[in-house]
């Protein structure tokens, strides 16, 4: 089974370090705070109503084919009691701090103290990264630039090499009448067929990329590439 990837992931931890809630992030601005935020954490009185901003930047065009390049992540503190990245407090007077190079990292908000143990246990989230790299078959090079723009907006990489760290095989919308009955392009070559048959790469349709790009609620589940909504008929890729 292919893993459910998402470029950036915020994981809220309890006092034992166990993950109790997850937010999946695509490029855009997210507010973090105690009330009415895109990432709302209501149970810590030392968190400000608007505690911090977290901004995931769109991939620059030259980075889209390279899964080794991460989208920038900027954090800005607005709070009374502070925001820390791996224990280092952000200066409230400064502009955003780029934390992409430090990921995976822990971000702490506020100064909550456990009433029983008197131990400091500030609200902690783990910011993790797992790239999505869609392989676009060479048959569709003419569509690369257009699809790359959509990929950049979703924080997703679009690559030309099947062994260049790809996580999924992308089947574009057909641009000609040379399609299967299901509305997907005609068969590809034997190399791709063998890779598909081995299950090394999960094939998905453009609906998968569209579903990532159109997400609005970061707390909503990540689109699952194994869902029937994005499935490609097995006879699309034939030897």
Q: Look up the pTM and report it.
A: 0.81
Please report, in tens digits, the pLDDT of each residue of the chain (239 residues total). Answer: 334 556 799 999 988 889 999 999 989 999 999 999 999 999 899 999 999 999 999 999 999 999 888 899 999 999 999 999 999 999 887 778 999 889 999 999 998 877 777 777 889 999 999 888 888 877 677 788 889 999 998 899 998 876 667 888 887 765 444 544 444 455 455 556 555 555 567 778 888 889 988 888 888 888 887 787 776 655 555 54
Query: At residue 112, what are phi and psi to the nearest 5 degrees?
Result: -60, 140
Q: How far is CA 54 from CA 61, 72, 73, in A?
A: 22, 10, 7
Q: What is the pLDDT of residue 183?
A: 45
Angle between helices 206-213 and 144-153 (to 10 degrees): 40
Q: What is the pLDDT of residue 175?
A: 47
Which residue shows structure tokens 């589940």? 221
Q: What is the pLDDT of residue 41?
A: 93
Q: What is the pLDDT of residue 198?
A: 59
Q: What is the pLDDT of residue 22?
A: 92
3-state SS, 168-223, equals: EEEECCCCCCCECCCCCECCCCHHHHHHHHHCCCEEEEHHHHHHHHCCCCCCCCCC
Q: What is the pLDDT of residue 57?
A: 93
Tokens of 129: 């990264």
């Amino acid at each position: 089974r292919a893993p459910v990837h998402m470029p950036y992931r915020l994981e809220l931890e309890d006092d034992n370090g166990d993950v109790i809630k997850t937010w999946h992030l695509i490029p855009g601005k997210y507010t973090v705070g105690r009330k009415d935020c895109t990432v709302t954490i209501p149970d810590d009185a030392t968190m400000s109503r608007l505690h911090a901003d977290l901004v995931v930047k769109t991939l620059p065009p030259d980075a889209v084919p390279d899964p080794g390049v991460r989208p920038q992540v900027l954090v800005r503190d607005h709070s009374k009691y502070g925001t820390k990245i791996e224990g280092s407090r952000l200066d409230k007077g400064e502009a955003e701090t780029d934390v992409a190079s430090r990921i995976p990292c822990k971000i702490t908000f506020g100064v909550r103290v456990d009433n029983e143990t008197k131990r400091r246990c500030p609200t902690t989230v783990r910011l993790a990264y797992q790239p999505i790299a869609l392989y676009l078959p060479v048959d569709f090079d003419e569509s690369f630039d257009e699809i790359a723009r959509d990929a950049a907006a979703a924080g997703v990489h679009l690559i030309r090499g099947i062994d260049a760290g790809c996580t999924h095989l992308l089947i574009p919308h057909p641009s000609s009448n040379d399609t299967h009955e299901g509305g997907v392009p005609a068969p590809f070559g034997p190399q791709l067929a063998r890779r598909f048959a081995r299950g090394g790469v999960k094939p998905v349709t453009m609906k998968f990329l569209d579903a990532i790009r159109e997400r609005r609620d970061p707390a909503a589940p990540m689109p699952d590439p194994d869902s029937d909504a994005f499935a490609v008929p097995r006879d699309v890729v034939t030897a």
